[in-house]
Amino acid sequence: MTTLTIDSITEISRTVAAEYDRRLHVVGVVSTNGESGRAELLVTIRGCHTEPCLIMLNVTRLGQAAFARDLREKFREALASHLEPATGSSPTSRMPGRGR
């Protein structure tokens, strides 16, 4: 399996963030210390209950599909824990019969 470059991760993560939720913005990407199979993303969440909201996500670098899947899961978790539940704007709340 191919390890993604930092440039690839930056491009893919910004695209996934924009598609997943417009409140997410990937500020930067770095490789993890001593582990080539992981990367860390610095992400801001607009509308967070404690602005500015800056989080660090640790994701896999092994293959584009695994990376995108891991990243979407991390985005889902971040939005669930950093946005006010009453906003009704989390990915879960947009699903029929969920979040309200």
Q: What is the pLDDT of residues 44-94, one digit of tens each?
A: 988 777 777 888 998 888 888 889 998 999 999 988 887 765 444 444 434
Q: Which domain holds residue 10?
A: 6-83
- For the question of whether the overall pTM of this predicted structure is more than 0.85, the answer is no
Whether 92 is in a domain gets the answer no
The three-state (H, E, C) secondary structure of 29-90, written as one string: EEEECCEEEEEEEEEEECCCCCCCCEEEEEEECECHHHHHHHHHHHHHHHHHHHCCHHHCCC
Q: What is the CATH number of the domain that holds 65?
A: 3.30.160
Distance separating alpha carbons of residues 46 and 65, to the nearest angstrom: 26
Number of folded domains that form the chain: 1
Q: What is the pLDDT of residues 7-56, one digit of tens each?
A: 999 999 999 999 999 999 999 999 877 667 888 999 998 877 777 788 89
